[in-house]
Amino acid sequence: MEYITISHIYNWKKIKKKFAAITAYDFSFAKIFCNQGVPVLLVGDSLGMTIQGHDSTLPVKVKDIIYHTKCVRKGAPNSFLIADLPFMSYYEINQTLKNAAKIIQSGANMIKIEGGKWLIETIKELSMRSILVCGHMGLTPQNIHYLSGYKVQGKQKKEANQLINEALLLEEAGIKMLVLECIPSLLAKKITEKLSIPVIGIGAGVYTDGQILVMQDLLGITEGKTPRFVKNFLFNSGSVQNAIKKYINEVENSIYPNEKNSF
């Protein structure tokens, strides 16, 4: 796989080519994902739950993201690598700039932050310093206590319109990509069509430019209740490599997610 840049991803949106993304946390799986042609990887603060065993992403520290970003970059030198700024690591601009710089220096191409219009000035400051920013709207796990659980967002008209308007504001402020999590598929379609930047969905239906899944969900090794949008690609695939190939193929050909995996 050639070295993937933000320009590649923008061009895919322009030509309406769907792309697959996966969370990654270590060298070995990152190498598999890269070798199978996954163009975009995310070192997500989901590692708090998948790797550290917490019941939310909130305990994750910047040093954890840095450690796992270094591991993933070694395994996937050519993938476009996004890394999360964890909970309360971007509440103040000077702190945000320092934390983002450390993560970029660890091998990430882009940082991801959760929230709406309150992030406008933060996005502007990061962008002015040539730090690529990915937004994250809809279900934002760092706000899990405020949201009272992992629930679908944007079901009501007022809430949906707010998401659309704030997505446009974030794009104007300078985000170069947006993740939409757990929102109705038709709302995700509207946002994707209105934005000129690439939009990645997770539990947001088939109409987004790309899809992302937590690797443990994709491989069917997550304990507990399986979210509606999750599909076990390892089942009947024979190997992790084949599961990844199947995932890429189904995303690129708009097979996954189907209606059963959407809201």
51 domain residue, yes or no: yes
Whether 77 is in a domain gets the answer: yes
Q: Which contacts (CB < 8 Å, 24+ apart) does range 95-98 have? A: 96/122, 96/125, 96/126, 97/125, 97/126, 97/129, 97/131
143: its two tokens:
């706000």
* 167 lies in some domain: yes
Per DSSP, 6 falls in state H
Domain residues for 187? 6-261
What is residue 226's predicted lDDT score, i.e. its pLDDT? Answer: 86
Q: Are 109 and 139 in contact (CB under 8 A)?
A: no
Q: Which residue has the tokens 């995310």?
A: 42
Average pLDDT over residues 152-168: 96
Least confident of 44-58, 64-78, 141-155, 184-198: 141-155
User: Which pLDDT score, from 0 to 100, does residue 237 have?
Assistant: 96
Res 145: pLDDT: 79
55 falls within a domain = yes
Residues 6+ apart with CB under 8 A from 249: 255
Catalytic residue among 125, 166, 181, 250: 181
The structural domain count of the chain equals 1
The answer to whether 171 is annotated as binding is: no
Residue 242 domain-assigned? Answer: yes
The confidence score (pLDDT) of residue 108 equals 98
Cβ proximity of 221 and 213 under 8 Å: no
84 is an annotated ligand-binding site residue: yes
- For residue 209, say whether it is annotated as part of any ligand binding site: no
pLDDT (0 to 100) of residue 146: 73
Active-site residue 181, yes or no?
yes
Identify which of 135, 144, 254 has the alpha carbon closest to the alpha carbon of residue 206: 254
Supply the pLDDT for residue 199: 98
Residue 1 placed within a domain: no
Q: Identify whether 215 is part of a domain.
A: yes
Domain with 177 in it: what CATH number? 3.20.20.60
Is the pLDDT at 149 greater than 90? The verdict is no
* Model confidence, pTM: 0.97
Can you tell me the mean pLDDT for 31-53?
A: 98
Using 50, 70 and 90 to split pLDDT, how confident is the model at 173? Answer: very high
Give the strand pairing for 177-181 and 19-23. Answer: unpaired
CB 133 within 8 A of CB 111: yes
Please report the pLDDT score of residue 151 as a whole number. Answer: 84
Tens-digit pLDDT profile for residues 55-101: 999 999 999 999 999 999 999 999 999 999 999 999 999 999 999 99
pLDDT at 148: 72
In contact, 210 and 13? CB cutoff 8 Å: no
How do residues 200-256 score in pLDDT, each as one tens digit? Answer: 999 999 999 999 999 999 999 988 788 999 999 999 999 999 999 999 999 999 999
